[in-house]
Amino acid sequence: MDKFYITTAIDYVNGAPHIGHAYEKIITDVIARHYSQRTDDMYFLTGTDEHGIKIQKTAAAKGITPKELCDENAQKFKDAWNALDINYNQFIRTTDDYHEKAVQKIFKKLVEKGDIYKHSYEGLYCQGCECFLNPKDLTEDGLCPDHLKKPEVVKEENYFFKLTKYKDAIIKHIKDNPDFIVPAFRANEVLNQLEDIQDISVSRAKSNVQWGIDVLDDPEQSIYVWIDALSNYITALGYDTETNSEKYNKYWPADVHVIGKDILKFHSIYWPAFLMALDLPLPKHIFAHGWITIDETKMSKSLGNVISPTSVIENFELKEPDAFRYYMATSAPCGRDGNYSDDDFKEKVNAHLANSMGNLLNRTLSMLVKYFDGEIKEGSKVASHPELVSGSLELLKKALGTVKIVENHFNHFEIAEAAQEIMNIVDLTNKFVTDNAPWTLAKEEKMAECAQVLTTVLEVMCIVAALIYPYCPNIAKSMAKQLSFDLSVKLDDLTADNIKNGKLISKEEITPVFLRVDSELADKSSKK
């Protein structure tokens, strides 16, 4: 794999980030970190969407300029992602000068090509969706189905993009590339939407929307959100219609756009059409994730159940965000909705990270110190005596096989499913310890067998550390440090021979990689 370019949706800065924003950034970061273990050239883009009527109105209500509101809230997003260890390469803001200039050039090129034309129009406009809606899309009460508000009747002379011109080409692309839209069941939704697609408004009259990018040669019009926002994926790389930058040539097309299912239409219909009109390649995949509910209830300001991205970390006094990252990344199967609850969070991370994985490493290292003074004995590895301990060779083969299974899940953006495979090998390794009882082998003075059991477990834990790293980078680093394991190794280079012979660890160097959320030790540790 020569490169991997991954993007998130850019977040609208009308308000502060919440747990739904965090979910998308976490799963994208998990995917990005996984692919950084498979290629030397991974590029991760995120950012903020900063134009439009909602920002204009919110800023006016606060008595500040739209740019001041954008600056304030964009920083909140950056701070949140920093707290969650979101390791992006670039953060684009659509108020960045280079982006605005590139968008103007893109718009002008599409006008010159004849794909954008001016047209008087009257339609039903939903501010929440930032688009015009068809009457048939509304509820029986005439409300927007997503925002449950009545759209306003808007009559303007705007610029329109010839979306209908690209309808057949988009349908063909979706049918010819069954993995273009992930998960696959979403493709039928898009194909249904394409049946009665119409040309779309791509500008708003300046008299109604002042806060936007001016149309070149027509300053009475603002470039409307979708050409502005969607173009960020290429303007961030330096695309501007005239010269393709080295970075653009290197990374485009994107390997995957990670987005919420509510904006799939714009990414799988509008965006491909814009790219086709610009004669540019389409992204390889569009991964539409589900929504996160809170205690099985949809997030709503009126219900007061909107959770900030960092509140869980603060509430449970977590020193690192790993537990929250793991929980969110594993909260839903590929493309389905997930749920957050405090009780489930505590139960899951304690069971998986503390009891199963963390305790397995801790007690194995403790036995290595107790029985062998923390040394890996010569000849204790499976390769030396594969017949010595029943199941040891099979366990190592299973662990290496898990690497390929996890990679395959990530190929299909099945992040929760990949994590389950990691926990499965952890559970098998725990069973291997129970079945072979190294404490009993030591008591019976079967030290060669005891040494092989412990060494085999530690070899597996190196593989587990590598696999869990995208979800829990801090925990993985702690595991790797105690195992003297190089976490920078590529997944394809992982072997069953990661532990060196000789002194590995002393009693003082053994530390729990994750303390139970509700433990007295965790409370004391965090309050220190």
Q: State the alpha helices, DSSP H only, in 92-202.
A: 97-113, 167-176, 185-195
Q: Are 235 and 92 in contact (CB under 8 A)?
A: yes
Most confident of 121-125, 150-154, 195-199: 195-199
Q: pTM for the whole thing?
A: 0.92
Segment 48-58 shows an average pLDDT of: 94
Among 99-103, 128-132, 174-178, which is the least confidently predicted range? 128-132
The conformational region for residue 413 under phi > 0 = left, psi -120 to 50 = alpha, else beta, is: left
CA angle, 196 then 199 then 201, to 5°: 130
Could you tell me the pLDDT band of residue 521, with boundaries at 50, 70 and 90?
very low
Report pLDDT digits (tens) over 259-312: 999 999 999 999 999 999 999 999 999 999 999 998 888 776 666 678 888 899
Identify whether 147 is a catalytic site residue. yes
Identify whether 144 is a catalytic site residue. yes
Name the residue ranges covered by the structural domains of the chain.
Answer: 4-309, 342-527
Kindly report the average pLDDT of the chain as a whole number.
Answer: 93
**Local structure of residue 252 (DSSP, 8 states):** P
62, 119, 298, 443: the catalytic one is 298
CA angle, 376 then 378 then 382, to 5°: 85
Identify whether 129 is a catalytic site residue. yes
Report pLDDT digits (tens) over 184-216: 999 999 999 999 899 999 999 998 889 999 999
Task: Report the pLDDT value the prediction gives residue 526, as an integer from 0 to 100.
Answer: 41
Report pLDDT digits (tens) over 405-422: 999 999 999 999 999 999
Q: Rounded distance, CA 481 to CA 459, Å?
A: 14
Whose tokens are 């219609």? That residue is 241
Q: Is the pLDDT of residue 117 over 50?
A: yes
Whether 342-527 and 4-309 are alike in CATH topology: the answer is: no
Could you tell me the pLDDT band of residue 528, with boundaries at 50, 70 and 90?
very low
- Report the candidate in 312, 308, 338, 339 with the shortest Cα–Cα distance to residue 325: 312
Identify whether 450 is a catalytic site residue. no
Number of residues assigned to the chain: 528
Among 99-103, 141-145, 177-181, 501-505, which is the least confidently predicted range? 141-145
Mention every residue, 6+ apart, whose C-beta is less than 8 A from residue 310: 80, 83, 84
Task: Report the pLDDT value the prediction gives residue 522, as an integer from 0 to 100.
Answer: 45
Task: Report the pLDDT value the prediction gives residue 302, as an integer from 0 to 100.
Answer: 62
Q: Rounded distance, CA 270 to CA 159, Å?
A: 15
147, 175, 397, 507: the catalytic one is 147
Looking at the domain 342-527, which fold is it?
Answer: Isoleucyl-tRNA Synthetase; Domain 1 (1.10.730)
The secondary structure of the chain in percent helix, strand, coil, rounded to multiples of 5, reads 50, 15, 35
Task: Report the pLDDT value the prediction gives residue 424, as an integer from 0 to 100.
Answer: 98
What is the rounded (10 degree) CA torsion for 53, 59, 60, 66? -70
pLDDT > 90 fraction of the chain, expressed in percent and rounded: 82
Mention every residue, 6+ apart, whose C-beta is less than 8 A from residue 43: 3, 4, 5, 6, 89, 90, 251
Q: Rounded distance, CA 471 to CA 329, Å?
A: 7
Identify whether 173 is a catalytic site residue. no
Task: Report the pLDDT value the prediction gives residue 138, as an integer from 0 to 100.
Answer: 87
List, edge to edge, every strand of the sheet that includes 116-126. 131-133, 116-126, 152-161, 200-201
Could you tell me the pLDDT band of residue 447, with boundaries at 50, 70 and 90?
very high
70, 144, 462, 472: the catalytic one is 144
Element (H or E) spanning 70, and its range? helix 66-83
Identify whether 443 is a catalytic site residue. no
Q: Is the pLDDT of residue 527 over 70?
A: no
Q: Rounded distance, CA 207 to CA 29, Å?
A: 40
Q: Is the pLDDT of residue 78 over 70?
A: yes
Q: Rounded distance, CA 313 to CA 320, Å?
A: 8
70, 129, 334, 462: the catalytic one is 129
Task: Report the pLDDT value the prediction gives residue 120, as an integer from 0 to 100.
Answer: 85
Between 517 and 63, whose confidence is greater? Answer: 63
| Two structure tokens written together for 268 | 């799988």
Task: Report the pLDDT value the prediction gives residue 301, as an integer from 0 to 100.
Answer: 66
Identify whether 21 is a catalytic site residue. yes
Q: State the alpha helices, DSSP H only, in 239-353.
A: 246-251, 264-265, 271-277, 311-315, 322-329, 342-349
Q: Is the pLDDT of residue 508 over 50?
A: yes
Identify whether 78 is a catalytic site residue. no
Q: Is the pLDDT of residue 509 over 90?
A: yes
Residue 131, SS3 per DSSP:
strand
Q: How far is CA 205 from CA 65, 159, 201, in A?
A: 20, 9, 11
Segment 490-517 shows an average pLDDT of: 95
Task: Report the pLDDT value the prediction gives residue 300, as an integer from 0 to 100.
Answer: 67
- Report the candidate in 11, 479, 216, 244 with the shortest Cα–Cα distance to residue 487: 479
Q: Is the pLDDT of residue 21 over 70?
A: yes
51, 99, 126, 265: the catalytic one is 126
CATH of 4-309, one of 1.10.1020.10, 3.40.190.10, 3.40.50.620, 3.40.50.1000: 3.40.50.620
Q: Are 164 and 119 in contact (CB under 8 A)?
A: no
Report pLDDT digits (tens) over 421-442: 999 999 999 999 999 999 999 9
